[in-house]
Structure 1
């Protein structure tokens, strides 16, 4: 009798945390090899690999078992300004119970991310924060995540006007979160020993188990921040301070283990 009761409770709890509610639509970008750069003039080493690992996580059970049809993975020469902007229209397919995710790993500037085909001194080819915020605002999803492993990525939190604020005018019950590798004045460090960006490395470690502080099989955004932030600060010797910013519940689940 007791065995049957415990088994029933186990099955019930397992069903409750087996998968993310609704669907996930994700645009995942990683650029190591830039058109206008070489390794000696600024190319990165691991940004494309980091993006591929994030996409793999999203496809896993912990990441929500997201179908390939709902992921736009763009790496290196695939990640031009035009193709990124086109990929962001995927978010328009999401309904209120769904979530949308943008992950970017590559070069960053105070007001934009840098696509593959950007040219030094030419602002016309940048992926501005204004464009990113517009893509989020055009989505009906109540859960919106912007994750960036890029230098100065904290600059996206600056709110010049109410219209440009990512978390403004969202309906009640919405979760809009920005998980950013660094403050607006900081670099985002690539670590050869980790074979990736320090931020993405610990982000994925946290999402796949290390962040589950209370051991309940769910990693919430609060748990992830408590794990990622000190790990990145320690690893980069204080050069890099991750920012978790927006309007969201501390108990927002990000992975189900």
Structure 2
């Protein structure tokens, strides 16, 4: 199965060498890094590591993802993995997400982050995550335990969802549209380590988590209220 890895990044020059070192030990597929208006050497480091670099100067997590997807359309992969620049534990775990897709068991696989209490997702980020997931479970009955950015999706499914969120509602929109379209969605436990260099734009502070949580909840409300289901979908939804 042809696979590409998409890394949205802004000012991640401190973290990227460690990420690419971890990726270098694996059988890594095509890597696309989207430089989302960095003021440091993010693009240079990625290019030196053999990654294709795409530029999206307009700030926005979703915008960065959309720019990366657009760059892949001329020769699309079979599946696309989304990976944050500070997720050093992801290396060695790609098959956990890709195997269900490759074996025809799922179309979207979301990495459910597991870690010791001291090294996992910060409490304020976990709280916002749980609120959104609880609402999603009530609306769609989906037993997915995380909204983690480390995820893999079949390319044809990705295109059918017609994602257009430009901010941190990107992953909420992806999950909601996939569930509404009765796409086969699964969660898969993945190891997670809290970043030790640089600072997260979202979970690194309480205000950042609150802003991101508000955007995610707003996106959930907007998507749930849509009358027209977006996405062609596949035959059924798998739950854990």
Asked whether the two chains share a fold, i.e. TM above 0.5, the reply is no
Structure number with the higher strand fraction is: 1
Q: What's the TM-score, normalizing by structure 1?
A: 0.30
